[in-house]
Every structure is written in structure tokens, then in C-alpha cells.
A and B are shown apart, each in its own frame.
Chain A
Amino acid sequence: MKQHNERGIMSSYDLKRPITRWAYYFMNVLVVIMMCCMIYPILISMFNGLKMTAEVNTFPPTFFPREWHFENYVTAWNYIDLPYYFRNTLLLFIGNLIVVVVALGLAAYALSKMKVPFKNGIYYYFLVTLFIPATTYMIPNFINLKELGLMGSFAAIWLPAGANAFFLLLLKSFIDSIHIEIFESARIDGASEVRSFFQIALPLSIPIFATLSIFIFSTAWNDWFWPSFILSQENKPLSVAIKDFVLNARRLDMNIKFAILTIVMLPPIIIFLFFQKFILRGLHMGSVKG
């Protein structure tokens, strides 16, 4: 990092030429414009939530509210039962995480460190599913869940969360990098396989599970299409509730709408801003190394 502060593609010598220097300034301006474009929609929805309805609909739109109506956020909070839907989202996240940790964690550990008959065959059985795009069997998947009698319940989301070959791949390659000697010495000391998984493999794999939980959290928080068809009315997560009751609502005032949207978008943004170092590092671990 230190080194790169001294020079990038351009050196300080390049910047002495006026044309290059202006181009460099222009480039910085472009980046600033990009940053504004990124932040503007987020800020404007926050401020729109504080305006009067009439002001939201004025043309050209104002950025800062003329009058600050903080009570909009109270109205928004009471418009739908946000904590209830938030609880559903949280339940989805926790259930998905448990299924992934238990089912995929055990399988990845076994494939990496244990004797399994037809190991390669089983590994391919898991991995081949990566090459079948999910959209192509989306409808049969729906029919399948209906025929299994899972439709409407959380289990229809929880259990299929474990059928993720990408997560298995990440887990296995992480566990592969743990030295086998640790497990061998545990075995010599008399630890059972279950114990060496839960007391050795699992704690050592915390980093990769943290990465996976970021993915799982963002799926639980974001995904609206699939849950809207699978889950019953009382099990709908926040995203579906917003889609059904806020976006498609005809008689909802714009300022209240923006206030609700802001309430929903703030938690992930705040989590991201606080833990961004950790999250970006985690995502980097999850990205395929080209």
C-alpha cells in the first residue's frame, strides 16, 4: 500500500505535463461525480421521507426539505408491522445459516478430511449442479415444493438453502487448507468424528462461515421474488411485504413511501459502513480467484 502511494500507472513526472495534469483532475472529477450519483438516490429518499407530499411531487425536485417533518417516520413505522416482517426475515436468515453450517459444513468436512466411498463421484454429484442455471428449473422447483407439501412454511426456504454447490465449494476449499495433522492428533487423543468437526473444524472455519453469513444475510434481506411465491402471507419477509404493501400501494403518500423505504434500507447500509473493512475482506475471500 505504501509503495503504491508513490506512483500508480502515472508517475509524478507525468503529472508535470499540463495536459496530463488536467486529464488527471478531470478523472478525479469523474470519480467525484460517480460518488455523487451513488449517494444521491440514497440521500434523496431519506430527505423525501422528511418532506410534505406536495414537495416530493414538485418539479424540479428539491434536495433538502423546506420543512422537516420528522413525524413522517413515525407514520411510516406504523403503516405496516415492520418488526413482525423483520422477525420473519431474521428467521429466514438464521434457518438458512443453520442448514448451511450443518449440512454443507459436515459434507465439506467429510469430503475434505474423511474416508467416504465414491468420494469423487459424490463431489461431482454436488458440483455439477453449478452448471445448471437456476432459472431453467425454477418452475419445476416450485411444483416440487408444492408436491413435497412444504409450500408456505419456512422450511421451503430453509432446506433448499442447503442445496448450494457454490457454498460447498467455498467451504471445502477452506477446510482443505486446514492441516490434516490437527485432526489426526485429535483422533489419536480419542475424539470422535462429530467432536472433531464441532470442536476443531468449525471453530477453525469461522472466517469462511462469516463470509457465507454475509451472502446468506444479503439473500434473506434482498430476495423478494422467490419468497413471494413460496411463503404464506404470515411468513413473508420484509422485502416481500415492502413489495406488496408499499411499492404496489396506490393510495400511499409519496413521502410516507420514501420514509418506509429509508427505514428498510438503513440497517444494511449502517451495518456495511461499520463493518466495511471486515465485509469487503470477507467478500474478497468468497470471490473466485481468477
Chain B
Amino acid sequence: MNQSMNTTEASIIYNKPQKQKTSNWRRYIWGVLFVLPAFIIFALFLWLPISKGLLNSFYTVDFVKGNSFVGLANYKTIFTDPYVLQSIKNTLYYMGLALVIGFWVPIFFALCISEMRRFQGFARVAAYLPYVVPFVVLYGVWRWLYDPVGPINALLKLIGIDQINFMVDRSWSMISIVIMETWQSFGSAMLIYLAAVLSVPRDWYEAAEIDGAGIWQRIRYITLPAIRNQIILLLMLQLISTSQGFQTQYAMLDGGPNNATLTYALLIVRYAFVRQDYGVASALGVLMFIALSVLAILQYRSNSKGGV
């Protein structure tokens, strides 16, 4: 016994071709055992629900009486539901607003802070600070900040602007949410940009300056190209996360006022937990997956065509 152990171990080490058949499973057994827990967890908690979602989209899910096959009825419900179109519009609006209001902010402040001669560390920490505040706390605090008699309206009054009902006004509700989310999370993106901006060699600016390039030109032709990769990466990440966004909308306004902040993902949640219609909710998920994959493929194609 002892000797056979030794030979298998030797064959592991030296990879000798002889005796491979008998020791094959021994060489693999630990590797398999090590991978197995993660393999099972992924199967149970990712692949199983994913396939169930696909399957359930053709069923009416009932926990008591059991599921019953309904064919494409769930999809039919979706295409006749006016809320679906509205929620898609809202989601696109939300993604667009997040780009217009939020995307440039971390780049801008990364540039500013990289230029600061002193207190850079302070600015960095301050910008990141809201990111460590729990979401539920933010919801509570910002509800008060946005209050018609809250501090933001007090500030607006000071500079002579009429009271804005940030949460109740349909045209403001989504904007308010995007502003809050930008405030909360731009710090982490800024740190990534800042690291990239600071890693640009200083002599490049020196050389450009000697050649007569102005400050804007230096930013335009040196700094921005140098952080191009980070910009693209964070743009993709932001689009992916905003296309699925619903938690803030749900917690702050529950999709209101009058469904102005009802995003697509929030509609899924509503179908599932308010109407208990898990089949339609699963079908909505499947459609969302298809839409996002098509976008991803298109993006990938345009990227590879662009010769990047």
C-alpha cells in the first residue's frame, strides 16, 4: 500500500507515462473534489434558476396547485400591457439621464483633483465617503433633503428659484433619483479615473507645453486618450447597471408618481410580488436578457469593426 502511494505521488511529480491508467483517477480526484462545491453551488443557485426562468415563462406558476403550461400566453400579456412600453421608455430615460447628469462628473473631478497641489487626499476621501453610507440611510436622508421645505429648496429660494417638488413632480422625480445616485456613487468611479490620470507621465505634458499646446489641448490630446480605456469600461458598466436599475426607484417612490419612475426591472418586481404573477415576471426577465444580449453583441461588433 505504502509503496503504491509513493509511486502515484511520484507519477504526479514527474508525470511519468507508465502506470498512467491506474493512477489517472488519483491524479484527478483532488482536483475534482476541490472544484465540486463551487460547481454544485453554481448549478443550484445560478444555472437552475436561469433554466427555470426560461421554462417558467411558458407556465403559470402556482405554489399551491402546481404549475400549468400556458404556451405563449405570458408573452401575449406582456405585449398587450401598456405599462411595459412605459417602463421601457422610463428605463431608457433613466439611462440617458444617468449619462447626461452623472457620467462626466467623475471624469471632471478626477481632472480637477489631480491638479490640486494640496489636500488631494481630503478631496479623495470626501468624494468616496457617501459610497460607504448604507443605501437605506441615504433614502431616509434624501427624502428629507428633497422635501418641499427641505434644505435644497431653502437653497433654491435663496437664489430666487421657486419651490420644486422633487419627489412628487412627474418631470422631476427621475432627475432627483439620478442626482442622488450620482452623489452617492461617483466617488468610486472617480478614484479609478484619478489613478489613471495620475499615471500619465508628466514629461508628456512638459513636451506638449514646450511645443505650445494650451491647457485644453493637453487635456484633449493627452489626458483623455490616456484614460480612454477606463472611460469605455465605466461607460459599459454604467449602462449595464442602469438598464437594470430599480432599487432606488422602488425604495424612494415605489415607481410613482403616476409611474414616472417605473423602470423595466421594477415592473418585473411588481408582476412578481404585487400581482403574484411569476410566469409573466419570468417572461419579462427572458425578454430583458434577449434585449441586453443583442445590445452587447452589437456593441462588441461595432467595437471590433472600429479596429480597436
Contact = CB atoms under 8 A, between A and B. Distances in A.
Interface of A: 3-11, 13-14, 20, 24, 27-28, 30-31, 34-35, 37-42, 44-45, 48, 57, 59-61, 99, 102-104, 106-107, 109-111, 114-117, 122, 125-126, 129, 131-144, 146, 148, 159-160, 162-163, 165, 168, 184, 187-188, 190, 193-194, 197, 218, 221-222, 224-225, 229, 239, 242-243, 246-247, 254, 257-258, 261, 264-265, 268-269, 271-273, 276, 280, 283-284, 287-288, 290
Interface size class of B (residues with CB under 8 A): 35 or more
Given A8-B114, A137-B53, A254-B144, A31 B136 contact: no
B35 A106 contact: yes
Interface string B233-255: 10000001001101100110000
Contacts, number: 296
Interface of B: 9, 12-13, 27-28, 30-32, 34-35, 37-39, 41-42, 44-50, 52-53, 56, 61, 63, 109, 111-117, 122-130, 132-145, 149-151, 153-154, 157-158, 183, 187-188, 191-192, 195-196, 198, 202, 205-206, 209, 215, 218-219, 222-223, 229-230, 232-233, 240, 243-244, 246-247, 250-251, 265, 268-269, 271-273, 278, 281-282, 285-286, 288-289, 292-293, 296
A142 B140 CA distance: 27
Given A38-B126, A115-B31, A135 B41 contact: no
A136 B288 contact: yes
A265 B126 contact: no
B135 A224 contact: yes
Nearest to A48: B144
Nearest to B277: A139
A288 B272 contact: no
Contacts of B145: 41, 44
A38 B157 CA distance: 21
B41 A159 contact: yes
16 contacts: A4-B198, A6-B202, A59-B154, A60-B151, A106-B34, A107-B35, A117-B28, A140-B285, A143-B278, A159-B45, A160-B41, A184-B13, A187-B9, A190-B9, A225-B250, A247-B140
Given A35-B122, A163-B46, 17 more contacts: A9-B115, A9-B215, A37-B183, A45-B140, A99-B41, A125-B42, A135-B265, A139-B272, A140-B52, A143-B52, A159-B44, A163-B45, A193-B34, A224-B247, A272-B132, A280-B191, A290-B230
Given A8-B114, A261-B140, A136 B286 contact: yes
Nearest to A239: B136
Contacts of B230: 290
